[in-house]
Structure 1
């Protein structure tokens, strides 16, 4: 806009100069100096009016430009608010999907455990019936075999309890971690199979099979963090936790493991300050796992 104004004024000056020269050349007779001055004053007055009109037009153009800028800023603000609303709706929808998936996984896990218990119960009842039918010839033999069967059942039950693999650990203090750090849950609530190491926050697989792991972390509102579950150097699942308010966030994974595989929770991003909130409760920040078969 400024360059166009300068060009316009230059054209006016050139026009003014040519007009002055033409006036002087046409005056073959020696005119009065006063008359020439009057002509020059008229020309200068015309030029001044043109400059004033140009200033008015420039001012109007600048006002329109300011109005356009204000309109654009309002549109940008409106778009930002709309984007924020969509982001909040997407976050709420993703939370509902995660809760639904966790509920579905929990149902499958309960059904698997119930199936295993039913199989073991049927096996024990079947063995006991076979032993009673086969040894009906003597009450003394029946008594001995029944006692032996009961002893065997007790031993088998104890073996099943000892062979069960399950752990749950919690974090009671607010710790600050950095990207690549293992999140340690130092307090062990239960540790059947002795696979979880509370000093290092890792679970070392004692038996080959399919395992189910869950992670729950209570975060301060507005302090997001990325967290993943790792087997060795491989990330088997991760999530971006970005709560608007203080809340618990969950992560779950089902995977097939071999003996000696190391499972742990790792922080993947670098938030500002502490993000994990704790009020010395066993229920807020937890890491757990179970062998399902």
Structure 2
């Protein structure tokens, strides 16, 4: 820009001094340069802010893990209708996407997520649990009246949109058991944003 200003200014001068419209030409060139510079700076600021926001989304960390009972021992169920399991003992909740009051994980951003859940029951009891996405079952586990204790687990990778909800649900007329060993648990994390 300085070079253009000098080149423009040189054409205004001759041996006798500045030409009559020299001040006008230099002023016009300076104004154009100022507006061009201002425009380029504003564009750069906007681009930088956009990249910073994009980087924040890409660097968002989301992970949680929770056990069914806060402490002690007990079971959930049997119930007459499917029941969302609310995992009270939160081991980790990075990104605060899991709600220990509802048992629901809400995706904070679009991405690929991994979920795993474990369920346990004592002998002679039926246990069946499904993992659901927005009220649609995705995968399940069951143990139908085992002779000894029953354990089951399942895991899944899901593509989620921001706001999608994931939770586990106890089937009707079944139950799960938990104690301080955390036999029944639910975990998930963001693999990468999309």
Q: TM-score, normalised by structure 1?
A: 0.42
Structure (1 or 2) with the greater strand fraction: 2
In 2: Cα distance, 1:247 partner to 1:180 partner: 20
Correspondence 1:231-242 to 2 at 5 A: 231-242=133-144
What is the Cα-based RMSD across aligned positions, in Å?
A: 2.1
Moved over 3 A (4+): none
Alpha-carbon contact 2:127-2:176 (below 8 Å) kept: no
Structure 1 gap segments, 5+ residues each: 1-158
Q: Give the match for residue 88 of structure 2.
A: 186
In 2: Cα distance, 1:184 partner to 1:236 partner: 18
Pairwise CA distance, 1:174: 1.7
Q: Give the match for residue 245 of structure 1.
A: 148
Aligned residues: 131
Find 2:123's aligned residue among 201, 221, 226.
Answer: 221
Correspondence 1:1-293 to 2 at 5 A: 163-172=60-69, 173-177=73-77, 178=79, 179-242=81-144, 243-271=146-174, 275-281=175-181, 283-293=182-192
In 2: Cα distance, 1:269 partner to 1:181 partner: 7
Looking at CA atoms only, which structure, 1 or 2, has the larger radius of gyration?
1
Deviations 1:147-200 (A, max 9, x none): xxxxxxxxxxxx79x721110011234233323110111111101111000011
Structure showing greater relative contact order (alpha-carbon pairs closer than 8 Å, 6 or more residues apart): 2
Alpha-carbon contact 1:227-1:241 (below 8 Å) kept: no
Q: TM-score, normalised by structure 2?
A: 0.61
Alpha-carbon contact 1:219-1:249 (below 8 Å) kept: no
Alpha-carbon contact 1:166-1:289 (below 8 Å) kept: yes
